Amino acid sequence: MTATATRTPSAGPPEGSAVLPPLRIGRHVIGSPVVLAPMAGITNRAFRRLCREYGSDGAPGASGAAGGSALYVSEMITTRALVERNAETMRLIEHDPEEDPRSIQLYSVDPATARAAARILVSEDRADHIDLNFGCPVPKVTRRGGGSALPWKRDLFRAIVGAVVEEGARGDVPVTVKMRIGIDADHETYLDAGLAAESEGVAAVALHARTAAQAYSGTADWSAIRRLKETVTSVPVLGNGDIWSAEDALRMVAETGCDGVVVGRGCLGRPWLFADLAAAFAGSSVRVSPTLGEVAGTLRRHAAYLAEFYADEGRACRDIRKHIAWYLKGFPAGSEMRSSLALVDSLASLDRLLATLDPSAPWPGEAAEGQRGRAGTSRHVVLPEGWLTTRELTPEQAAMVAQAEQSVSGG
């Protein structure tokens, strides 16, 4: 590992006392009860490899690689694109040989297409775990009735979940569901959806404790996670939202009783968060506090993994640009340097720029902590016409969603 660790006061139980048992997702036992949230354009094979390296052997206090293991989920895959074997989609569902379990998130608004996509993953041995996206708040998703808009239609939600669970069972591939509180404060769906998913046979449910209208703004309502945990009793309930540090994760578990956590924006430019989380859940107060030189080394390794993933150095450099501000948050890099890094077009130019940074600059502490990524503001949720009139699909809406699946992306 390129990152170092320093001891900080533990916010958890006595040193060495595990906070939670391993997370069980069907036949899979996840040593650290932590899940990498699917993020479009982020959680590709390159980023998952980086997070996995930290989460497995960069976790002081965890009992070896197994103790530090987490579940690392692919970015969202559109079922229609998978069924049509779109070349880019087929590349996105590839995994490193070391990835175990191989986890893929599917997005769908049509039960037949969802079933067909799940059948490909299971019958062709392309996944060991399938997650279903019912949390995306992006307008181009919700306007088709997908993502966080879909659980409002109870029959459609049950049909998609049931179809994928049935296909997964053919290969002992467990299925989980990730969702939001609802469309907005007046149209909550999470408790109904959690019970429906449980009865359809999912292996776990995860709740991002915001509504679609909130998108990523405001504060996640962790009390909703607690209510879901009290409602869904036979499978694990995972909490998501505003986990920026291992201490946040410990606090979420203490306040909600959830069985594990899902981490998204908190690990942007900070893959070593998985080492912190593994240590925290193992009862250790050790945290990773990298110097600027160590962060630069991680950034460079990320770029190299992207180049391998894309088999295209130029594309890898264009991709790494969006990660620059996240990696350098709080460090004394200067606006000119940040601007130059955001225009990098080759690994050689990246090396030249990184070499000018002060490698001894220490971890900046609070300046590097807290929210990462754009929060935005609350907004009106774009929905299909008449979507909120009834909780069941009308014949017109059924025809619409059957035609609605296209290559979309969201988070």
Helix (H, G, I), strand (E, B) or coil at 175: strand
Cα-based torsion angle of the residue sequence 177, 179, 183, 187 in order, rounded to the nearest 10 degrees: 70
Lookup: tokens for 248: 């946040």
| Contact assessment for residue 131 and residue 105, using Cβ atoms and an 8 Å cutoff | yes
- Collect all residues with Cβ–Cβ distance below 8 Å to 223 and sequence separation of at least 6: 209, 256
Annotated active-site residue 267? The verdict is no
Q: Rounded to whole angstroms, how far apart are CA atoms 369 and 285?
A: 17
Rounded distance, CA 308 to CA 305, Å?
Answer: 5
Tokens 């694990």 -> residue: 236
Nearest CA among 192, 205, 215 for reference residue 262? 205
Q: Which of 136, 258, 267, 317 is catalytic?
A: 136
Largest pairwise CA distance in the chain: 64
Q: Helix 313-320 to helix 347-354 angle, to the nearest 10 degrees?
A: 40
Which residues are the active-site residues? 136
